[in-house]
C-alpha cells in the first residue's frame, strides 16, 4: 500500500521571495512531512490574482490583497501528505500573524495580514480547484 495522501495548494507569497526565504519555507514543509510534488515560480498579474481570490471580491481587503499578491514573484506548489489541507493549515498558523501560534510559519515569517508569507487551501474541494488553477496533471509528479 502506498502513502500517497492528499493534496493541498500552497502559495509562497511575495514577502518571502523578496527576502530570499523560499528555501527556508520549503525546508519546513519537508521537515513537516510534506512532499512538494509540483512547484513553479511566477508573477501573478492583476486578472490572475483577482480570479484566484474571486471569493473575496466583495471584501474590504480585496484590493490590498491583490496588490500584495502581484507585488513580486510567488512560488506555487502542490503539497502531498496524509490530511494535507488540515496539516498545512496547522503549520501555517492563523491568517493574522498577530494571532498565530508559536512555531507556525506565519508567526515566524509573516509581516502583516496580507504579507502573511503563505497561502493554503481551506478545504479539499478548494484544493482541487486551486491546484487546477495553476497546474496541469502532467506537472504534478507524486
For ligand CMP, the binding residues (CB under 6 A) are 56, 61, 65, 95, 113-114, 116, 119
Minimum CB distance to ligand CMP, residue 10 (Å): 10
Q: Find, among 29, 53, 34, the residue nearest to 104 by Cα.
A: 29
In this complex, which beta carbon is closest to ligand CMP, that of residue 4 or of residue 42?
Answer: 42
Which one, 67 or 132, has the nearer CB to ligand CMP? 67
Q: Which of 119, 130, 131, 135 is catalytic?
A: 119
We find the least distance from the C-beta atom of residue 96 to ligand CMP, in angstroms, to be 7
Alpha carbon 107 to its chain centroid, in Å, reads: 15
CB 6 within 8 A of CB 108: no
CB of 9 to ligand CMP, least distance (A): 10
* Catalytic residue check, 56: no
Burial grade of 111 (CB within 10 A; 0-12, 13-18, 19 or more): middle
Closer by beta carbon to ligand CMP, 41 or else 56? 56
- Spell out the alpha helix ranges (H) of the chain: 14-18, 22-31, 46-52, 62-69, 84-92, 105-109, 124-134
User: Which residues are identified as catalytic?
Assistant: 119
Amino acid at each position: 500500500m502506498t502513502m500517497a495522501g492528499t493534496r493541498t495548494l500552497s502559495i509562497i507569497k511575495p514577502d518571502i521571495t523578496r527576502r530570499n526565504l523560499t528555501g527556508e519555507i520549503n525546508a519546513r514543509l519537508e521537515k513537516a512531512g510534506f512532499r512538494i510534488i509540483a512547484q513553479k515560480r511566477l508573477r501573478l498579474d492583476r486578472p490572475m490574482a483577482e480570479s484566484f481570490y474571486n471569493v473575496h471580491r466583495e471584501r474590504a481587503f480585496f484590493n490590498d490583497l491583490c496588490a500584495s499578491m502581484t507585488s513580486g514573484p510567488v512560488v506555487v506548489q502542490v503539497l502531498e501528505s496524509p490530511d494535507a489541507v488540515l496539516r498545512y493549515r496547522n503549520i501555517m498558523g492563523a491568517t493574522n500573524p498577530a494571532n498565530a501560534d508559536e512555531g507556525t510559519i506565519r508567526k515566524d515569517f509573516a509581516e502583516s495580514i496580507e504579507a502573511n508569507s503563505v497561502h493554503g487551501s481551506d478545504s479539499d474541494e478548494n484544493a482541487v480547484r486551486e491546484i487546477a488553477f495553476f497546474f496541469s496533471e502532467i506537472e504534478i509528479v507524486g
